[in-house]
Amino acid sequence: MHKIYTVLLFFIGVCCLSAQNSPKAALAFSEDLSDEKRRFDYFFYEAMNAKALNKYEAAYDFFRYCNAIDSTNANVTYELANFYNTFGDKNKALDHYRKASLLDQNNYYYSYAYGSMCIEFKQYSDAIDQFSKLVLKDPDNTELYVLLSEAYRLDGDLANAIKTLDKLEKIVGLNEKISLHKYQLYTALKQEDKAFAEIQKHIDKYPNQLKYQILLGDLYLQTGRKKEAFLVYSKAKAIDPDDPYLITSMAEYYEQTNNKEAAEREMQIALMSSKMDIDTKLAILAQRVGSLQQNQQETTAANALFDTLMIQHPQEPKLNLMYGNLLMIQKDKSGARDQYRIFTEANPTNPFGWEQMLFTTFPDSLQLTIKICDEAISHIKDQPQFYFYKGVSEYMLDDHKAALTTLKEGIVYVDENNPRLLADFHGQIGDLYYHLGKHDSAFATYEKALKFDPNNVGVLNNYSYFLSLAKKDLSKAELMSSRAVKADPTNPTYLDTYGWVLFVQGAYTISKIYLEDAIKYSKEKGEELSSEVLEHYGDVLFKTNEPEKALEYWIKAKEKGDSDSKTLDRKIETKTYISE
């Protein structure tokens, strides 16, 4: 009997384990459970067990079985709502949260979830109903007051939003965040006196804490009440004239009242303060630069402030980094590069400094770009962006073999989760293969690039153009080129490529339209027309019965002096289109 009992226990355990892993198996096993309540209880237990074991697919199926047996069970309805919310089926989630809250109106979590989702669906009156009920049931729950006030605010009932925060304030006491919320609400109601009174309450309670006086002064300044702001700042100055935050607020006041000298003086005092750490000073400087930009003023006014800080903190390279950024705003690339250089010397393994230096050189100085990339690689070998900039620079200098070697070295460091950069690398390598006469390798590499990023317009353009030159896969070339034009419809290069692909296909009238657009947008953007575009336009003019005008554009292409066309001279000599 002992052996038989053991076997029976083992058999039952296997069946239960199987049921947990397979809802269908559980359904088959439970068919013997004729009583619906027993079947429901069985599936609900299995659902909760699967959920506890993180077997969410099985749990979801079990809850659905439960719902099929009893669709009025609030717990199951709520659990399904959570699943629908996770799946992103928000409408079903909202319906199930609503149903759960109606089925069990005393359950906090059901009402809370439904109210929160009502806010998400902008059903603010329903959210107000839910949170109002919850506040009555749980009047000490401070979170509910915040949610209820926000629901009132979003519904446009600002008065009740304030009343709700008043109730919250009675529970938690005077609170800075609550006062700021009420300030914003009173301001929206254009009840400015009540708005400022909210901040004044903190000043009355904490008369020696400058932060509230500074806050009140700043708020007066933001609303254009400059006299009141100055009076508050003056009272604060009587408490601590050396407070750096007060000084910066005073500087902003002087800036707004057009007293530039006083503003700069106040900022100098703040930055020289020993009470303020370097990070805070940098934050103030950033805010100052931002204020100058916002007011469309010369940012050079901030340069002297940086000079002051550099004297005070000569060993702070992040100061040089920020100063470099300011000089870039001022288009002083050389000065910015000097500041970035100081930062990189102090932080040679930080790629950010090297990247900032590249922005000062590429594409204006390709040799210097290559030099900076070599320096960066010597310190941080595994950063692909420096190989990319170096390879592209070598490519632009027509050193195709060196560029190909550089890009092949760099692509091994590209993260496989960065498909766009992988596509860019393969695109450049494909271009280089083509220029080195390895056309099949070029086309195969373009295919790799498009697998990583099917919408890479540079690859789409170049691949389609080189196919058209080879008069190969023209339908594919036309499709790829059209996608590039759709992505950037005013790009002269993409328009020229599409026009030329159409030309090769024999669609001369449509080709002419796109080539004319290429010329038009080049002129609008102030870009110089290439000999290639001019020759293409001459070709299509000839094919559309304008031979004299065609000759004019062929001559213009020749005068550019940069054409590598094999037939341009013969076209001019014979005044006839000749296919390459």
> What span, in angstroms and rounded, lies between the C-alpha atoms of 392 and 406?
9
Q: How many CA atoms lie within 13 A of 578 on its CB side?
A: 15
Q: Quick check: 334 and 297 in contact, CB under 8 A?
A: no
Torsion angles phi and psi, residue 55, rounded to 5: -95, 75
Q: If 0-12 CB within 10 Å is exposed, 13-18 middle and 19+ buried, where does residue 144 land?
A: buried
Q: What is the largest CA-CA distance in the chain?
A: 111
Average pLDDT, the chain: 88
Q: Is the pLDDT of residue 310 over 90?
A: no
Average of pLDDT values for 298-306?
Answer: 77
- Tokens found for residue 474: 């023209």
According to the model, what pLDDT value does residue 11 have? 31
What is the percentage of the chain residues whose pLDDT exceeds 70? 93
272: left (phi over 0), alpha (psi -120 to 50) or beta: alpha
Average of pLDDT values for 310-333?
Answer: 87
> What span, in angstroms and rounded, lies between the C-alpha atoms of 373 and 388?
9
Highest mean pLDDT among 254-258, 424-428, 529-533: 424-428
Q: Is the pLDDT of residue 70 over 80?
A: yes
- With a CB cutoff of 8 Å and minimum separation 6, the contacts of 545 are none
According to the model, what pLDDT value does residue 402 have? 97
According to the model, what pLDDT value does residue 534 have? 95
Q: How far apart are the first and last CA of the chain?
A: 97
Q: What is the DSSP letter of 32?
A: G
What is the percentage of the chain residues whose pLDDT exceeds 90? 66
Q: Is the pLDDT of residue 288 over 60?
A: yes
> What span, in angstroms and rounded, lies between the C-alpha atoms of 317 and 343?
5
Q: If 0-12 CB within 10 Å is exposed, 13-18 middle and 19+ buried, where does residue 407 land?
A: buried
Q: Is the pLDDT of residue 272 over 80?
A: no
556: nearest Cα among 576, 578, 528: 528
Greater confidence, 441 or 288? 441
Amino acid found at 385: Q
According to the model, what pLDDT value does residue 295 have? 61
Comparing 130-144, 312-326, 432-446, 491-505, which segment has the lowest mean pLDDT?
Answer: 312-326
Q: If 0-12 CB within 10 Å is exposed, 13-18 middle and 19+ buried, where does residue 333 land?
A: middle
- Tokens found for residue 422: 């992988």
Residue 28 pLDDT grade (very low, low, confident, very high; cuts 50, 70, 90): very low
> What span, in angstroms and rounded, lies between the C-alpha atoms of 578 and 573?
11
Average of pLDDT values for 87-92?
Answer: 93
Q: Quick check: 538 and 553 in contact, CB under 8 A?
A: yes
- Tokens found for residue 123: 């059903």
According to the model, what pLDDT value does residue 547 have? 94
> What span, in angstroms and rounded, lies between the C-alpha atoms of 338 and 220?
41
Q: What is the pLDDT of residues 207-231, one digit of tens each?
A: 888 888 888 898 889 888 999 999 9
Q: What is the pLDDT of residues 431-479, one digit of tens each?
A: 999 999 999 999 999 999 999 999 999 999 999 999 999 999 999 999 9
Greater confidence, 249 or 9? 249
> What span, in angstroms and rounded, lies between the C-alpha atoms of 486 and 430?
23
> What span, in angstroms and rounded, lies between the C-alpha atoms of 127 and 114?
8
Write down the pTM of the prediction: 0.61
CB atoms within 10 A of CB 457: 20
According to the model, what pLDDT value does residue 104 have? 95
Q: Is the pLDDT of residue 315 over 50?
A: yes
According to the model, what pLDDT value does residue 263 have? 80
According to the model, what pLDDT value does residue 1 have? 31
According to the model, what pLDDT value does residue 273 have? 75
